[in-house]
Structure 1
Amino acid sequence: MARTPPIDLPANRLDQQLCFALYRATNAITHTYRAPLAALGLTYPQYLVMLVLWEDGEQTVGGLAQRLALDASTLTPLLRRMETAGLVQRQRDPANQRSVRVRLTDAGQALEAPTAAIQQRVACATRLDGPTFEQLRLQLHRLAADLDAA
């Protein structure tokens, strides 16, 4: 059942579109991450994979895909490049040969502290205070969940 929009928006006005506001904000955030991550040899999507592995440890490709809301086929070339760079190791699961497990190497694990400093700098660049930052983060997760359920 469709709900009524929370506000009455003028039709077809770019600056009134939630999608455009999210698009601009996403581009600005990823741009802010780009240079410092590149200095560590990471792209933003690789950084997201690393976050999951630092937090949860070894994962299947399917588990990573689910956690990151991506297709496994999107992750495979990304993980291949990360393996070539020495950040992760991929190995077929002995219990299920169709499943590939991914784990951090020592080099991948060593990037956790420097990326935490990058995350802190990006958070400061938003100029949001702690409660506002947290509220926005929670609202965006709720929005994504609602849209997934719709």
Structure 2
Amino acid sequence: MLDDELHFLLLKAFNHSNRRIDAAIRRIGLLPGQPKIIECLAEQDGLTAKEICTRCILDKSTMTGLLKRMETRGLVRREASETDRRSYRVFLTKLGRDYAARIAAIMQDADAQATRGMAPVEAVALNTALRQVIANLEVADAVEQDAAEQDAEKEG
């Protein structure tokens, strides 16, 4: 039965959560992907685009378009990096910080809905278990990537 399989439960939970969050962020005028970037910069302002890509699990082409739209709307500003003139650092503007507070409320509501009926200790255990699932899958991805690179070297 699919409802007993972890991969299906993770996908189903993601879809419900994502639909709820997506609707709420669209109501405040943001596009998918933008809230993650704003949350990331609210946590640590002045990151490079590459650092944001890594933390937000976004590819470079998606990041470029999102940052351009966000800069046009006045949510972020870019400054040339002092140590590497080829890159730049991204900072939230005052408007971006105002949105960060609104996004935090949306995400807190989504988390509260997702964990409704759970004891606080259960919610903490869920987060801990999900972090372990993510770590396990990241290791598996790295092993598979290494194997693919070794196969490509043998063929090439």
- Alpha-carbon deviation of 1:97? 2.1
- Alpha-carbon deviation of 1:67? 1.5
* Secondary structure of the structure 2 residue equivalent to 1:91: strand
**In the TM superposition, what whole-angstrom CA distance separates every residue of 1:28-70 from its partner, at most 9, and x where no partner exists?**
1111112221122223421111111001111101111122233
Given that 2:76 and 2:93 are in contact with CA atoms closer than 8 Å, whether structure 1 keeps it comes out as yes
Letter in 2 for 1:142: Q
Letter in 2 for 1:95: T
Q: Does 1:66 align with 2:54?
A: yes
* Counterpart for residue 121 of structure 1: 109
Q: CA separation in 2, counterparts of 1:43 and 1:137? A: 26
Q: CA separation in 2, counterparts of 1:129 and 1:98? A: 49
Letter in 1 for 2:122: T
Given that 1:33 and 1:44 are in contact with CA atoms closer than 8 Å, whether structure 2 keeps it comes out as no
* Counterpart for residue 141 of structure 1: 131
Q: CA separation in 2, counterparts of 1:61 and 1:139? A: 30
List, as ranges, runs of 4+ consecutive aligned residues in structure 1 with deviation greater than 3 Å. 13-17
- Alpha-carbon deviation of 1:147? 1.0
Equivalent of 1:81 in 47, 69, 75? 69
Q: CA separation in 1, counterparts of 2:91 and 2:13? A: 31
Given that 2:39 and 2:103 are in contact with CA atoms closer than 8 Å, whether structure 1 keeps it comes out as no
Equivalent of 2:42 in 29, 50, 54? 54
TM (norm. structure 2) is 0.78
**In the TM superposition, what whole-angstrom CA distance separates every residue of 1:68-94 from its partner, at most 9, and x where no partner exists?**
233333311111121122111123324
Q: Structure 1 or 2: larger helix share?
A: 2
* Secondary structure of the structure 2 residue equivalent to 1:113: helix
Runs of 5+ in structure 1 lacking a partner? 1-12
- Alpha-carbon deviation of 1:135? 1.7
TM (norm. structure 1) is 0.81
Q: CA separation in 2, counterparts of 1:44 and 1:25? A: 18
* Counterpart for residue 150 of structure 2: none
Choose 89-98 or 136-145, whichever is displaced more. 89-98
